[in-house]
Amino acid sequence: MKLKLLFIVTLSLLVLSVLTNYLLFRLCNDYYRELQIVRLDPLSSGKFSKDNLQLRNSSAKKNNVILLGDSRIARWSPALSPAEGEIINRGVAGETSNITLLRLEQDVFSLHPAGVVIQTGINDLKTIGLWPERKEAIVSICKRNLQQIAEKLSAHNIPVCFLTIFPPAEVDWKHYVVWSDDIRSAVVEVNQYLKNMNLKNIQVIDCSVLLESDKYLKQEYAQDTYHLNAAGYKALNSCLADRVNKFISAP
Look at 235 and 9; give whichever has higher pLDDT.
235
Convert the pLDDT of each residue in 67-97 to its tens digit.
999 999 999 988 877 776 788 999 999 899 9
In this prediction, residue 113 carries a pLDDT of 92
Q: Is the pLDDT of residue 19 over 80?
A: no
| Residue 61 Cα distances to 164, 168, 196, 205, angstroms | 30, 39, 34, 28
Q: Is the pLDDT of residue 140 over 90?
A: yes
Is-contact 115 88, C-beta < 8 A? no
In this prediction, residue 41 carries a pLDDT of 67
* Of 30-44, 46-60, 108-122, 205-219, the least confident: 30-44
CA 145 – CA 70 distance, rounded (Å): 14
Q: In the chain, what percentage of residues exceed pLDDT 70?
A: 83
Q: Is the pLDDT of residue 20 over 80?
A: no
Convert the pLDDT of each residue in 159-172 to its tens digit.
999 999 999 999 98
In this prediction, residue 172 carries a pLDDT of 84
User: What is the distance of C-alpha 175 from the center of its chain?
Assistant: 16
Written as one string, the DSSP assignment of 139-150 is: HHHHHHHHHHHH
Burial category of 44 from C-beta neighbours within 10 Å (exposed 0-12, middle 13-18, buried 19 and up): buried
Residue range 121-137: mean pLDDT, rounded:
95
| Domain boundary assignment for the chain | 1-40, 45-249
Class of domain 45-249: alpha beta
Q: In the chain, what percentage of residues exceed pLDDT 90?
A: 57
Mean predicted lDDT score pLDDT of the chain: 86
Convert the pLDDT of each residue in 145-201 to its tens digit.
999 999 999 999 999 999 999 999 999 877 778 889 999 999 999 999 999 999 999
Is-contact 160 203, C-beta < 8 A? yes
Give the pLDDT band of residue 33 (cuts 50, 70, 90). Answer: low
Give the pLDDT band of residue 49 (cuts 50, 70, 90). Answer: confident
In this prediction, residue 86 carries a pLDDT of 86
Is-contact 88 52, C-beta < 8 A? no
User: What is the distance of C-alpha 25 from the center of its chain?
Assistant: 24
Q: Is the pLDDT of residue 26 over 90?
A: no
